[in-house]
Structure 1
Amino acid sequence: MKIVTLVKYVPDATGDRGFADDGTVDREATDGLLSELDEYAVEQALQLADSQDSGGDVEVVALTLGPDDAADAIKRALQMGATSGVHINDESVHGSDALATSAILAAAIRKLEPDLVVAGMASTDGTMGVVPAMLSERLGWPAATLGATLSLAGTTATIRRDGDTASQTIEVALPAIVSVTDQSGEPRYPSMKGILAAKKKPVDDWEIDDLDLDAEVNGQVGLANAWSTVKDTTPRPPKEAGRQVTDEDGSGAAALTEFLVSGKYI
């Protein structure tokens, strides 16, 4: 069995994030890392591999699309326990939107021929959460999204999707696309053994020409062909000191009430 897990390299949320001159995310302004929500996808893929009594025949492939630094996302997945990685690295994809991204990833998935694709519920930089559904449509595979749990039985994948008032159990026949939430289980931390083993695991570098993309899809790739672009940005203003109210004359309660009412907190 082969499981592909989608991983994305994103700017660290604790850093100073911003936009580049062309309106895309400035990925060089701060350090990056594997998207936290994708760590849950890697963990679930590894748990499925651990639970299969197949004598080590389950392969977990970490797949990413991005520039040179995106290799660090694959590196982290390999350290966690993934078997191998595929890095789609091509300058022509810079600025691609979700539509183009899903088309490129779908072509890569067709080439890899997995039984199951596991993704996070969204990326922590874009937070759109639409790529798994788009992949399902492009591949013609069933999708089970936003799973709080994930299990395999034969050729069927099952998730439990938890809502505010009820939970749903959803079954899909393989091959399928599955996305999992941060409720699915705490991701494992790479051990020293895993870190050392990751250095010997294979990672394939692919370009767009290595994928079977038709002319129409090729025309959707890149910032110039994106359906949405950022026209203008304004940096977030620096934090200012909060208002201080002294209660020497007994007016503190009234000032606090005025603040809460003006801010529509009450």
Structure 2
Amino acid sequence: MVGVGEPRKPNFRMRQLARTLRRLREQARLTQEETARRLRLSEAKLSRIEHGQLPNYHEFLAMLDLYGVIVSDYDEYVRMYDRAEERGWWHAYGHDDRGFVSIEAEASVVRTYQLGFVPGLLQTEGYMRAVFAAEREPLDSNILEKQVEVRLRRQHRLFEEPLLGVHAVVDESALLRNACDREQLVQIAARAELPNVSFQVIPSQVKVHEGLYSNFIVVSFPGKHEPDLAYIEYGFGSLQIEKASEVRAARLSFSHLAGLALDEQRSIAWLRRVADEL
């Protein structure tokens, strides 16, 4: 819990605003030192703002003015500031801004490779419950219900504007586990028919591939200045990757795995065939 007067930990929207303010300063050809002096801020505070700490509103407007943004163009940046101040819907379920939910909420496209599980956006409620029930430390029933509600709510982006584009590549082994029953396979096949969803299976005939190392996700955003990021979730934590060279490597790895997988039509046929056999 954040204490009184204690700054919030930067969430995705706050870091997005920070990158925008840094870009505007650089376009204005101002150094951090000169900017801090003219705004009467310490360089340390300006650095924190450019790494995600939210300035107060008057400081924010002063920055826009100093960076040469004309008043008639303020609306775009003010909307970005307001969004950075908002608390996402996930807070009501006990989630903070540091996990993947807040990132996905801002995304336009998610490319996910999964080795052991069905991607969360494609899971049935029954599959979710089986996964949560199998955790090392059993979840309190109230927490489990909230986890299910959050995952179901995330799936609204598949059907509601702004639609989220999803390209999922899943190793066959994840789809043959007991938790992945007929209902789950049928749901994946149905969602793969959506115009914003692509689904591919890597069949067992592909004996060894680099996806055996880890699950990972590559996320793209609607803003032209917003770079992609990569995200890795594992059994005891997660890792968000923003370094451009590593994100590029993740994109290349995803494209390679998609090339090894069955194409979309054959993947849907595979799902329906296995579902019919259950």
> When the two structures are superposed, what TM-score results if normalisation uses the length of structure 2?
0.24
Bigger relative contact order, structure 1 or 2, given CA contacts below 8 A and separation 6+?
1
Q: Which has the higher helix share?
A: 2
Structure with the largest fraction of strand: 1
When normalised by structure 1's length, the TM-score is 0.25
